[in-house]
Structure 1
Amino acid sequence: MKPESPEHSAPADAGARRAAAPVIAYPPETLPRPDLAALRQARAGWTRIASLAVPPREARCFEVPAGHFFRITSVEGPQVGDLNLWSADLSERFYSGKTRALHGTHLSTGDRLWSGFPTLRPMATITDDTLDWYGFDEFGASVHDVIGTRCDPYTHNLLSRGGQYHHCCHSNLIRALAGARGLTLAEAEPLVHDVLNVFMCTGFTRETGQYFMKASPVRPGDHLEFFAEIDLLGALSACPGGDCGGEHSSDKAACFPLLVEVFRPAALPAGWAPPPPNGYDQSHGGG
């Protein structure tokens, strides 16, 4: 709990210190830019090769070959989804923190989902976002965040003083991954990681810097679409918070299924090739 007032006096030059100009930590200008025109042109004549429904308060895994597209769609009611991505062999996983540092707190068309070290390369590129109209609202909230973690039973246990709830997104993703890859729950759990909160509307309070959520603007028919830059295994949880306009980690919210579809283009996008692993030599200054 933060103190209601500071315990220490401000220095005489506090105003000047606060007035220091912000500097973008990771200027994105030199990042490789996706050719959105070529990616969108590749959608012409595509074929849907897989479709699966993710039930409320559950998760499902799906595979997407490199050079294919996948869509997450709201189909019955406002619903948030927690998305994990791995390389198909599980050697790489989505790095939400670095994605946030490179693209910002919330993602939309043209942003990329980056893998962790040492590969640090694009795993998927967002090619369409029907909620891009939302922008940032008066509370500082936006959609599709990479600032929150997936809801989990451990935090729920702490905040509820002993509650045992098994349909948090963390647990949902564990069960889905274990079932898809023949793992025990104990083997799968270390592989589950922070997510892209698809359709979730979130921000930080100005006064305290606390993470907040509010009712998602998503409605049936809205979708978030991706192009797979490498062979992917995905897992999507239909969050027990529903539209996350109230509480989550319980059975109280109205929850709805989400639809995942995978599409094969008639031809690969012009000029596209799978991104190579990061070019750093991994010597780390050693002998």
Structure 2
Amino acid sequence: MKLEKGELPEPLDAEARRRVSPVICYPVNSLAPPDLAAYRAAREGWQKVDEVIVPPRDARCFAVPAGCFFRIVSVEGPQVGDLNLWAANDLNERFFSGKTRALHGTHLSTGDRLWSSLPYLRPMATITQDTLDWYGFDAWGGSVHDVIGTRCDPYTHRLLSGHDYHHCCHSNLTRALAHHLSRPRDMVEPAVHDVLNVFMCTGFTRGTGQYFMKASPVRPGDFLEFFAEIDLLGALSACPGGDCSAEHSSDTAACHPLLVELFRPMTPPEGWTSPTRNSYSGEHGD
């Protein structure tokens, strides 16, 4: 008789195999931790030099020179944002959510860094303050600012619903980047990539391992603050899911704008230098 999936008997040593201790894939002990005291000291006397309002169900681009700070701020109501980053002079160097997740974990907060794609692999930005760091991990295993989701997109929406929706975060980011660069949308779309889900509260279900979302704990005035390690081009989408408490990729949820603020310090953080690209030779062996 053919057994269906899940009907195979457990091996006799199943429990022993489950008890094997895990090993951290990427120990980060060799990485120099960010000097948060120096970053914080650099705020003294800083000057706000620009701000960008991101409308609900839309996206906007912004530029941040190396050595400056930027904040993503909740200004009206609970709202999730999807963040893309690129090196300002090279769209091929972009935020690498997968490697950032491998180095820092599924959710980011103060002291974590956003790393760039291969072959560059260097810090693009450092999180210097997070007003939601009190949340931690809840009873469901949920936390905020995840690098486990992708971004809501019209292709998955079409696959699952059979309908087109044009204000998914992927589409919002594509429109914003095309407008900023004055290029056709189909030319810039491949540069849109997996995001940092700012303010989003997510995790994985215990039984099935499915990605879940729940109402964001973000309040007006909360912010996530970054220090730009290199010259950056950013794009932020105010997700059509609002606080992502029920659904996304629709016009059902209540949505709110987000604010991006840019600050220039009087002097760079003490001892800071902009990181160079990864020093691997690129030979890849014989």
Q: TM-score, normalised by structure 1?
A: 0.97
Count of residue pairs brought into register by the alignment: 283
In the alignment, is residue 55 of structure 1 matched against residue 67 of structure 2? no
Helix, strand or coil at the partner of 1:98: helix
Displacement of 1:5 in angstroms is: 7.3
Q: How does 1:1-287 map to 2 (within 5 A)?
A: 6-89=6-89, 90-160=91-161, 162-286=162-286
Residues 228-269 of structure 1: CA deviation (Å, up to 9, x unaligned)? 000000000000000000010000000000000000001011
Residues 137-188 of structure 1: CA deviation (Å, up to 9, x unaligned)? 000000000000000000000111x211000000000000000011111011
Moved over 6 A (4+): none
Helix, strand or coil at the partner of 1:263: strand
| Structure 2 CA distance for partners of 1:78 and 1:19, relative to 1, 3 Å | same
Residues 8-30 of structure 1: CA deviation (Å, up to 9, x unaligned)? 11100001111100110001111
Helix, strand or coil at the partner of 1:158: helix
Amino acid at match of 1:7: E
Aligned Cα root-mean-square deviation (Å): 1.1
Displacement of 1:59 in angstroms is: 0.1
| Structure 2 CA distance for partners of 1:187 and 1:35, relative to 1, 3 Å | same
Helix, strand or coil at the partner of 2:11: coil
Q: Distance in 2 between matches of 1:65 and 1:4?
A: 57
Q: TM-score, normalised by structure 2?
A: 0.98
Displacement of 1:91 in angstroms is: 3.2
Amino acid at match of 2:185: L
Displacement of 1:6 in angstroms is: 1.5
Amino acid at match of 1:134: Y
| Structure 2 CA distance for partners of 1:283 and 1:250, relative to 1, 3 Å | same
Displacement of 1:32 in angstroms is: 2.4
Amino acid at match of 1:130: T
Q: Distance in 2 between matches of 1:242 and 1:32?
A: 37
Residues 70-89 of structure 1: CA deviation (Å, up to 9, x unaligned)? 00000000000000000001
Q: Distance in 2 between matches of 1:242 and 1:211?
A: 18
| Structure 2 CA distance for partners of 1:138 and 1:264, relative to 1, 3 Å | same
Helix, strand or coil at the partner of 1:190: helix
Helix, strand or coil at the partner of 2:73: strand
Identity %: 73
Q: Distance in 2 between matches of 1:151 and 1:238?
A: 11
Q: Distance in 1 between matches of 2:87 and 2:69?
A: 15
Displacement of 1:4 in angstroms is: 10
> Can you give the 5+ residue segments of structure 2 that lack an aligned partner in the other structure?
none
Amino acid at match of 2:125: A
